[in-house]
Amino acid sequence: MEQTYVMVKPDGVQRGLIGEIVSRIEKRGLKITAMKMHQIDEETAREHYKEHSDKPFFEPLVEYITSSPSVSMIVEGENAITIMRSMNGATKPIEAQPGTIRGDFAIETGRNVVHASDSKETAEKEIALHFSESETTTYSRID
Ligand code: CMP
């Protein structure tokens, strides 16, 4: 069973898309085992996006992601990492297919509504960065 980290970014929260995104995740059959609304601090944002630290969009990205609350989730299921990435759609909304979250709700790369871990290694790091052990749960999903 795989776990991934999913974030509804500040633009997704501000546009009232939390329910839509949670609903898509649940209806797909994935299990949300942790979820919280929190304003990500600067240090955490820099760590989360450190692979982009040399990119021109890094500073605006840190500023934006810390500017207003996000919703963080741990999402679990078979192939959860790949399935969440395909549900989100391409990073650049112009390339995202209709039916994906970004293809349906985003037009700007810098305001692309959601984030999901891109690999097992990244998922482990991002879950540990955004959640403490006591914030996680286990339960059986009934389908
Ligand atoms: P995300 O999937 O969270 O991972 C890296 C983020 O960097 C990406 O979504 C975008 O929000 C942001 N990003 C990537 N490329 C650009 C870009 N060219 N301009 C602005 N933001 C970008």
Give how many domains the chain has, as a whole number.
Answer: 1
Phi (first) and psi of residue 129, to 5 degrees: -70, -40
57 known ligand binder = yes
- Domain presence at residue 143: no
Provide the domain limits for residue 116: 2-135
CATH for 111: 3.30.70.141
pLDDT tens digits along 49-107: 999 999 999 999 999 999 999 999 999 999 999 999 999 999 999 999 999 999 999 99
ipTM over 0.85: yes
Please report, to the nearest 10 degrees, the dihedral formed by the alpha carbons of residues 30, 46, 14, 4 taken in order: 0
Q: Cα–Cα distances in Å, from 26 out to 31, 72, 121, 141?
A: 6, 15, 24, 10
- Domain presence at residue 142: no
- Domain presence at residue 140: no
pLDDT tens digits along 92-109: 999 999 999 999 999 999
Whether pTM exceeds 0.95: yes
- Domain presence at residue 38: yes
How many A from CA of 26 to the centre of ligand 1?
Answer: 25
List ligand 1's pocket residues with C-beta within 6 A: 52, 57, 61, 91, 109-110, 112, 115
- Domain presence at residue 112: yes
- Give the pLDDT band (50/70/90) at residue 143: confident
- Domain presence at residue 95: yes
